[in-house]
Structure 1
Amino acid sequence: MNNTLANLATLSTAKSKRLSSYDRTGGNSDRVGVEPGATHTLAAIEGAGQITHLWITIDCADPLYRRNLIFRCYWDGEENPSVESPIGDFFGNGWGMHYNFSTPPLACAPAGGKAHVCYFPMPFGRGARIEIENQSVEPIRSLYYYVDYEEWESCPDSLGRFHAWYNQELTAPESEQGNVENEWGLFGDAPKNASDANNYLFAEIEGTGHFVGVNYYVNCPSPMWYGEGDDMFLVDGEPWPGSAHGTGTEDYFNMAWCPREPFSHPSFGFGRVPGENGGDKLGWLGRTHCYRLHLTDPVRFTKSLRASIEHGHANVLTLELATVAYWYQSEPHKPFPALPSVEARKPRPEITAVDIHRWRDAWRKSVGGANPWGDERPSGV
Structure 2
Amino acid sequence: MLNDICRLQPGIRTKRISSYDRTGGNDDYIAIAAGTTAELAMMEGAGIVKHIWITLNCEDSFIRRNAIIRMYWDGEEEPSVESPLGDFFGQGFGEAYNFVSLPLAAAPQQGKALNSYFSMPYGKGARITLENQSAEPIKSFYYYIDYEVHPEMPETMGRFHASWRREITGVQKEVGENEWATLGASENNPSVAHNYVFADIAGSGHFVGINYYVDNPGPMWYGEGDDMWLIDGEDWPGSLHGTGTEDFFNSSWCPNETYAHPFFGYAKVPDRIGWMGRTHCYRFFLQDPIRFEKSLHASIEHGHDNCLTLDLSTVAYWYQTEPHLPYPALPAKELRGNMPVITERDVHLWRHEWRKAKGNASTLWGNEK
TM bucket normalised to smaller = over 0.9
Match of 2:229 among 218, 227, 233: 233
Q: Name the residue aligned to 2:270.
A: 274
Amino acid at match of 1:203: A
Shift of 1:179: 5.8
Q: Which residue of 2 aligns with 1:314?
A: 305
Distance in 2, matches of 1:25 and 1:65, equals: 28
Is 1:173–1:179's contact at 8 Å kept on the other side of the alignment? no
Who is 1:110 aligned against?
A: 108
Q: Hey, what does 1:340 align to over in structure 2? A: 331
**Map of 2:12 onto structure 1:** 14
Mean alpha-carbon deviation: is it higher for 210-219 or for 357-366?
Answer: 357-366
1:17-166 to 2 correspondence within 5 Å? 17-166=15-164
- Distance in 2, matches of 1:365 and 1:69, equals 46
Task: Give the whole-Å Cα distance in 2 for the aligned partners of 1:248 and 1:350.
Answer: 25
SS at match of 1:66: helix
Select which of 190, 196, 199 maps to 2:195: 199
After superposition, what is the alpha-carbon deviation per residue over 1:25-60, rounded to whole angstroms, capped at 9, x for unaligned? 100001111111100111011100000000000111
Map Cα deviations across residues 218-240 of structure 1 (whole Å, 9 max, x no partner). Answer: 01101100000000010000000
Offset of 1:63 from its aligned partner? 1.1
Structure 1: give runs of 5+ residues left out of the alignment.
none
Identity among equivalent pairs (%): 59
Secondary structure of 1:359 counterpart: helix
Task: Establish whether residue 302 from structure 1 lines up as the match of residue 298 from structure 2.
Answer: no
Structure 1 residue matching 2:366: 3-state secondary structure: coil
Residue 65 to residue 243, structure 1, CA distance change in 2 (3 Å): same
- Maintained 8 Å contact 2:175/2:184: no
1:223 matched to 2:239? The reply is no
Rounded to whole Å, the distance in 2 between the matches of 1:355 and 1:138 is 32
Which SS does the other structure have where 2:304 is aligned? coil
When the two structures are superposed, what TM-score results if normalisation uses the length of structure 2?
0.98
The superposition leaves residues 125-181 of structure 1 with CA deviations (integer Å, 9 ceiling, x where unpaired) of 00000010001111101100000000111001110000000000000111xx33611
Q: Using the alignment, how far apart are the partners of 1:135 and 1:365 within structure 2?
A: 46
The number of residue pairs the alignment matches comes to 367
Question: Where do 4+ consecutive residues of structure 1 move more than 6 Å?
Answer: none
Judge which range, 40-49 or 361-370, deviates more.
Answer: 361-370
Matched AA of 1:268: F
Q: Are 1:172 and 1:179, in contact at CA under 8 Å, matched by a contact in 2?
A: no
Q: Is the 8 A contact 1:206 1:304 kept in 2?
A: yes
Counterpart mapping for 1:351-366 below 5 A:
351-366=342-357
- Equivalent position SS for 1:314: helix
- Mapped partners of 1:229, 1:347: distance in 2: 22
The amino acid of 1:210's aligned partner reads H
Structure 2 residue 365 is the aligned partner of structure 1 residue 373: yes
Alignment partners' CA distance in 2, 1:110 and 1:350: 26
Amino acid at match of 1:152: H
Partner of 1:264: 260
Q: Deviations over 1:230-259 (max 9, x none)?
A: 000100000000010111101100111111
Q: Secondary structure at the match of 1:228?
A: coil
Distance 2:143 2:54 in 1: 4
Residue equivalent to 1:182: 178
1:208 maps to which of 199, 204, 210: 204
Instruction: Output the CA distance in 2 between the equivalents of 1:173 and 1:35.
Output: 41
Once residues 366 and 195 of structure 1 are traced to their aligned partners in structure 2, the CA distance between those partners, rounded to angstroms, is: 36
TM-score (norm 1): 0.95
Contact 1:160 1:329 in 2 (8 A): yes
